[in-house]
Homo-oligomer: A and B are copies of this chain.
């Protein structure tokens, strides 16, 4: 596991770096967002620790940019006691957790482990369909890095489509995976679920192939 620490306080940054390194993980410390962006372009991190007040910009802006580019790497925000508003805004901007300074290093370890566990480390493959990502194992869907709640039926339709990206799936095939064999359904249920999925995921994810079925592209 490789960690990116973005923190301009050299004392705190050095302490965290040593602690993380002592746990046997790789860690890069950046004090500027510019440097962090450069590091992100060349290295695949599995966790980012992000301070919000940085010399060349706001960490929240950085985080939102990250998520809007479809990057779903776990991010833990490091904030001072008096920045509660920023903290909430951080979670809304796509952070996974936060730590209030000053924090105990063992608490950092625990939170980092929890976040990494939640994300399944590096093992679980994400299926990417443009700005939409789905984790088939965990039944999680994200749009631009933000999780979206789907009902059982909505998930079933999306999964059926996503398991064969770029392939046209007949409406009858989707019905078959929705209902038991032989369950005759004479309605437009699939159309309704597609409509609801489009409302949640964006209208350009599922394409209609008129007279044939539906398709998602990777």
- Asked if A198 lies at the interface with its beta carbon under 8 angstroms from chain B, I say no
Q: Which of A131-183 contact B (CB under 8 A)?
A: 133, 138-140, 147, 149, 151-152, 165-168
Within the complex, the shortest CB–CB distance from A128 to chain B, in Å, comes to 6
Interface residue tally for chain A (C-beta within 8 Å):
37
- Asked if A199 lies at the interface with its beta carbon under 8 angstroms from chain B, I say no
Chain copies in complex: 2
Considering only CB atoms, which chain B residue lies closest to A207 in the complex?
Answer: B149
- Chain B residues with CB under 8 Å of A152's CB are 210-212
Asked whether A165 and B44 contact (CB < 8 A) given A210-B152, A211-B152, the answer is yes
Q: Could you tell me which A residues sit within 8 Å of B by CB distance?
A: 40-45, 61, 64-65, 67-72, 94, 125-126, 128, 133, 138-140, 147, 149, 151-152, 165-168, 209-212, 217-218
